[in-house]
Amino acid sequence: LEKAPAPLLKAACAGADGAYASEAAKEMLPGAELLFRPDFGAAFASLENGECDCAVVPIENSLAGSVTEIYDLMFKHRFFIRESLSLPISHSLLGIKGARADEINTVISHPQALAQCSEFISGNKLNKIAAENTALAAKSAAEKGDVTLAAIASKKAGKLYGLEALTENIQNDKDNFTRFLCIVKELYVPTDANRFSLTFALEHETGSLYRVLSRFAAAGINLTKLESRPMRGRSFEYQFYLDCEGSIRTEKNLDLLCALSEELPEFRFLGNYAIC
């Protein structure tokens, strides 16, 4: 736990400059070189292959919920969470120069952004096109040069690709945040760590999940998130993902995790990190 962490000089992100992931990476890792990859899987692969020191990816949004693909990739790769950041998200309707908001009939963006702006989209009867991320959506809208097509992305992305903000703050709720993770290969627990994450699987037995969760309650550990994901190759069996408040430097927390790691059929500790 006390070993000094290696410097994070290169970070992989999905998409292109101007994506919200790039904003999160710049805030978490000032001065790091950003390597943009076409999708989340490619960002994880870059970390696996040693092309970068970490990957910065979204894990959940306060309006649209979890980014389920990231959970699946976390189960697949044996990586750890180094840091977590909640980034405020403000979406704009971005059009080419000369476009008007009342002319737009189609919007392009990442499915999460489309979901976060669903009320605006349905209220204006707009068609939707899914893109790999918001920055690539802005780039695509700029390249197409169609006055009836707009991207949903940040104003920063609009400026990067020469688009104008036709309408700002179009998300369903102004209090909109996305939580990003900095993923690394080596475990490091900072002294200010206040959140830990783990995954596990259970036997198909009555009360098996209850018995596990009750032990967290008995230890006084507050669960902040519980997510289940289907297990590949095992029909209707599930992997559980937990976020909990606290530090494994606390003896009772460490004792519980050690006991569960020995008792459960599958168990993985994903990291103990600070929430920013």
Q: Which residues are annotated as catalytic? A: 178, 180
223 alpha-carbon distance from chain centroid: 19
Nearest-angstrom CA–CA distance, 229 and 102 = 41
Question: Under 8 Å CB-to-CB from 249, ≥6 apart: which residues?
Answer: 1, 189, 191, 193, 272
Bridge partner list, 109: 130
Residue whose entry in the numeric block shows the structure tokens 């977590």: 84
105 alpha-carbon distance from chain centroid: 29
Handedness of CA 15, 17, 22, 23 (dihedral sign): negative
DSSP 8-state class, residue 50: T
Cβ of 49: how many Cβ atoms within 10 Å?
A: 9
| Residue 130 near residue 76 (C-beta atoms within 8 A) | no
Q: 267, 254, 270, 273: which is closest to 212 by C-alpha?
A: 267
Bridge partner list, 227: 241
Instruction: Give how far Cα 67 sits from Cα of 45, 48, 179, 180, 200, Å.
Output: 18, 20, 10, 10, 19
Per-residue tokens: 274: 């600070």
